[in-house]
Amino acid sequence: MTNPCPCGLPEPYADCCGRFHRGDQHAPTAERLMRSRYCAFAVGEPDYLLDTWHPDTRPKRLRLDPAQEWTRLEILGQTGGSLLQNEGTVEFRAHYRYQGRDDSQHENSRFVREGGRWYYVDAR
């Protein structure tokens, strides 16, 4: 893919979130993990979503609806979550199209870093 990554950053998918989805690297910050998780919804990578979900809150399985098209991500704010921190939040709005209707999901997600890896915990 040479188009910009679905996460909203200008790099091609393979060089951006694709490297996290393939397991070549782990997301270095809470924001990058959040972007890569949004991208996993957009490109249909449920295994990545489960793998990056904290074990304490992870569902047993996850089914993505192929009829839901994720169209755009807006990062609205964040706290913590840097290379030197172990907790953080990312507030975002994820836009999608479903059954011919445009809509969005607004969320403030919480992340923790354990064993050098960031994990999604829950949303507020």
pLDDT in tens, 45-104: 999 999 999 999 999 999 999 999 999 999 999 999 999 999 999 999 999 999 999 999
| Whole-structure pTM value | 0.95
Residues in the chain, how many?
124
CB 7 within 8 A of CB 38: yes
CB 63 within 8 A of CB 8: no
- Distance of alpha carbon 54 from the chain centroid: 13
Point out which residues pair with 118 in neighbouring strands: 113
Taken in order of first residue, the domains within the chain and their CATH numbers are 13-123 (3.10.450.50)
